[in-house]
């Protein structure tokens, strides 16, 4: 990898040992109870009505609206005043409307333009290494706490990577808490951001954050990402995921940033797979195909990059694969433990094949777990961090 290490590229998690970072999540209710829920519902209805009027006026006079990124007084009164008066005492409002991000994202920012450094003068080593990156859906270190689960759910992964590098304070940066955002941050070192920095529809839950990547013609063309750098160095880049790559624009992102092939749900259907979850291919089948892909790439005797994205540990309850069911998994903690076993087995497969001798390997969560079936237990962990493991045959 030369002067650019994978550790330097995976920037969605940052090791901040000496810095307290305020994560903007509502952990405990601040009050309100049933009354708060009713108020929240009324506010959301009112906010959406106010937004409908706002959209109508936008259609009538598009040049006057948002030109200066300043909201109309009517919308400010309709949304921000009740929010400021009642929102902080209403946790449901913070979740449904996103009051904190609502106010923060309404402010224009040139942070990226001011501080972004284009990757330049990258020196290729005489003997380049292969790269294998495994993004594990929602995998975080909270699952390693035996006081919460009665055991370390990631014990098998911990054992198989006992000699690897890990960053204990690998934190989720605000704005990277869903898959495509985590992929962009870790591959490109910047946040996923729309050209229009403030979109009230998204804040009101009228538009999914995953639409950001789906609706653009070109996916962040001005940013240089890991795939671009490896492509320039002659690496073939390959992505395997269980879900549809069209979702959230994942396929578009990878294809436009140096990846030669993107395999997801449509591909698995085309080759005859029939057992799918609501998201796509189960992780046991995905990792089986990943082994085949890895064998073929390694046999070509050319440096390569293989990126894998799992899905079975997805909120809210996880997705139970046939393999994990046979191994006794019944719920999300069981699926997490089983996923840990399968990733450990994949690493052991690489070791037995001798692949670890010429391959950099990264195992990381794509982001922290979103609210799920065991959220009350997750919230008992005071400092939640993304699980991460780094291997290089040339040492740290």
In terms of average pLDDT, the best of 24-33, 81-90, 101-110, 377-386 is: 377-386
User: Is residue 359 pLDDT above 80, yes or no?
Assistant: yes
pLDDT of amino acid 99? 45
User: Is residue 120 pLDDT above 50, yes or no?
Assistant: yes
User: Is residue 237 pLDDT above 60, yes or no?
Assistant: yes
Mean per-residue pLDDT, 2-10: 39
User: Is residue 15 pLDDT above 80, yes or no?
Assistant: no
Share of the chain above pLDDT 90, in %: 59
d(C-alpha 216, C-alpha 219), whole Å:
6
pTM higher than 0.85: no
Work out the number of other CB atoms within 10 angstroms of the CB of residue 292.
10
Note whether 213 and 283 are within 8 A (CB): no
d(C-alpha 258, C-alpha 234), whole Å:
10
Please tell me which residue, 63 or 165, carries the higher pLDDT value.
165
pLDDT tens-digit readout, 158-188: 999 999 999 999 999 988 999 999 999 999 9
pLDDT of amino acid 124? 86
At 208, the pLDDT band (50, 70, 90 cuts) reads low
d(C-alpha 174, C-alpha 149), whole Å:
27
- Residue 354, phi then psi, degrees to nearest 5: 85, 10
- Residue 317, phi then psi, degrees to nearest 5: -110, -5
Lowest-pLDDT range, 40-49, 261-270, 377-386? Answer: 40-49
Mean per-residue pLDDT, 263-287: 97
pLDDT tens-digit readout, 30-48: 344 444 444 444 444 444 4
Containing H/E element for 196? none
Enumerate residues 6+ apart whose C-beta is below 8 A from 197. 69, 105, 107, 108, 109
Q: How far is CA 368 from CA 29, 51, 152, 170, in A?
A: 20, 31, 17, 10
Enumerate residues 6+ apart whose C-beta is below 8 A from 176. 12, 182, 184, 185, 191, 192, 367
pLDDT of amino acid 195? 54
pLDDT of amino acid 54? 37
pLDDT of amino acid 155? 98
At 108, the pLDDT band (50, 70, 90 cuts) reads low
d(C-alpha 137, C-alpha 365), whole Å:
6
CATH topology of domain 6-24+118-391: Alkaline Phosphatase, subunit A (3.40.720)
At 10, the pLDDT band (50, 70, 90 cuts) reads very low
Spatial CA neighbour of 125 closest among 4, 294, 231: 4
Q: Dump the DSSP string for 117-152.
A: -----PPPPSSPPEEEEEEETT-BGGGG-HHHHSS-
d(C-alpha 124, C-alpha 335), whole Å:
40
Please tell me which residue, 147 or 122, carries the higher pLDDT value.
147
d(C-alpha 192, C-alpha 281), whole Å:
26
Residue environment code for 245-271, b if the CB has 16+ CB neighbours within 10 A, otherwise e:
bebbbbbbbbbbbbbeebbbbebbeee
**Residue 384 in tokens:** 């939640």
Note whether 244 and 263 are within 8 A (CB): no
Note whether 136 and 339 are within 8 A (CB): yes
User: Is residue 222 pLDDT above 90, yes or no?
Assistant: no
Note whether 198 and 267 are within 8 A (CB): no
Reported as half-sphere exposure (CB side, CA atoms, 13 A), residue 221 has a value of: 3
Q: Is the dihedral of CA 130, 282, 288, 152 positive or negative?
A: positive
């Amino acid at each position: 990898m030369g002067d650019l290490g994978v550790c330097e590229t995976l920037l969605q998690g940052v090791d901040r040992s000496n810095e307290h970072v305020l994560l903007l999540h509502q952990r405990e209710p601040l009050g309100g109870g049933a009354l708060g829920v009713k108020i929240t519902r009324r506010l959301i209805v009112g906010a959406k009505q106010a937004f409908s009027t706002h959209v109508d006026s936008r259609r009538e006079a598009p040049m006057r609206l948002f030109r200066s990124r300043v909201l109309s007084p009517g919308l400010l009164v309709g949304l921000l005043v009740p929010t400021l008066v009642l929102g902080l005492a209403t946790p449901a409002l913070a979740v449904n409307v996103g009051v904190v991000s609502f106010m923060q994202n309404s402010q224009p920012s040139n942070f990226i333009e001011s501080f972004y450094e284009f990757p330049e003068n990258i020196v290729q080593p005489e003997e380049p290494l292969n790269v294998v990156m495994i993004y594990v859906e929602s995998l975080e270190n909270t699952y390693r706490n035996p006081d919460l689960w009665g055991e370390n759910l990631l014990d098998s992964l911990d054992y198989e990577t006992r000699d690897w590098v890990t960053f204990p304070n690998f934190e989720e940066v605000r704005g990277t808490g869903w898959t495509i955002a985590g992929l962009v941050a870790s591959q490109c070192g910047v946040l996923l951001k729309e050209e229009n920095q403030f979109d009230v529809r998204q804040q009101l839950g009228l538009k999914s954050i995953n639409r950001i990547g789906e609706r653009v013609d070109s996916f962040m063309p001005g940013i240089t990402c890991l795939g671009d750098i490896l492509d320039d160095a002659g690496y073939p880049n390959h992505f395997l995921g269980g879900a549809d790559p069209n979702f959230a624009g994942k396929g578009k992102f990878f294809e436009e940033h140096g990846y030669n092939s993107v395999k997801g749900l449509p591909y698995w259907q085309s080759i005859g797979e029939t057992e799918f979850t609501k998201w796509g291919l189960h992780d046991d089948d995905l990792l089986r195909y990943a082994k085949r892909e890895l064998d073929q790439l390694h046999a070509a005797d050319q440096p390569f990059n293989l990126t894998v994205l799992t899905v079975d540990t997805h909120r809210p309850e996880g997705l139970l694969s046939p393999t994990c069911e046979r191994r006794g998994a019944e719920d999300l903690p069981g699926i997490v433990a089983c996923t840990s076993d399968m990733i450990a087995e994949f690493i052991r497969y690489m070791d037995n094949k001798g692949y670890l001798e010429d391959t950099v390997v990264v195992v990381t969560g794509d982001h922290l777990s979103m609210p799920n079936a065991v959220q009350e237990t997750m919230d008992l962990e005071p400092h939640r961090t993304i699980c991460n493991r780094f291997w290089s045959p040339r040492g740290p």
